[in-house]
Structure 1
């Protein structure tokens, strides 16, 4: 039997799903622990909480890694389902294209939100801003 030379994408997809799943478990439980159990718990989660959290590069990278891994993991899972159940080649192509477009769009938009989020936009009414913005804007 001859073996084809080239990259076995299915094998690497399978490995990615296992590795990203383990890393996602750590990231998600860390996220839940910090957001729900530390400090005042769920009552403390508001616009100011997110603004304060995303002002720290550590949490930006943490959430970015969680975002990227989750969307690629989910997209790869959906790709596997489409490959298993879409019998017509045109249907398979359309569905795989839609998955690719949606995953790429969500990753781009999520990354932009994480790195361009401004909790203290200039010109906003002071009563609508988080408490830590008053010292920044003055």
Structure 2
């Protein structure tokens, strides 16, 4: 019969055909969003408590505070994990929105390419900053160094 709607499988039907085989990427994406959301809550609130409530609070946050914090491998890993999980979580969420609302294939591909490019640039630069940050670079003029540095 012409003009009739195609048959649509019930929502819980497992898809076994196609390039992906039995792997349901949307299920794994859904699970990742729930698990990473819970982990991010712990990471973000831990970050806020340490940076804003303990010690002198927000008034203590300056170049020296960040330099001292990132001199510890614990805080480097903490902030790196927070950066990576937040970026993957957010990118997956925006990818879902693009898939839901971008009707034309070309628009969808362009938007997702820009999204993935922004993800890669942010993650690479953020990771580099966390692991290469040096508040006291050697050879710098003493009058330009923060007070925590010994010239």
**Would you say same fold, with TM above 0.5?**
yes
Question: TM-score interval w.r.t. the shorter chain?
Answer: over 0.9
2:15–2:22 Cα contact (<8 Å) kept: no
Structure 1: unaligned runs, 5 residues or longer: none
Who wins on radius of gyration, i.e. which is larger? 2
Alignment partners' CA distance in 1, 2:14 and 2:140: 67
The structure 2 residue matched to 1:96, chosen from 73, 94, 112, is 112
Residue 116 (structure 2) pairs with residue 116 (structure 1): no
More helix as a share of residues: 1
**CA-based RMSD:** 1.3
TM-score normalized by the length of structure 2: 0.85
- Matched position secondary structure for 2:146: coil
**Residue 2 of structure 1: CA displacement?**
7.2
Structure 2: unaligned runs, 5 residues or longer: 1-12
Aligned positions, number: 135
- Following TM superposition, the consecutive aligned residue runs of length 4 or more in structure 1 with deviations greater than 3 angstroms are none
| Structure with more relative contact order (C-alpha pairs < 8 Å, separation 6 or more) | 1
TM-score normalized by the length of structure 1: 0.93
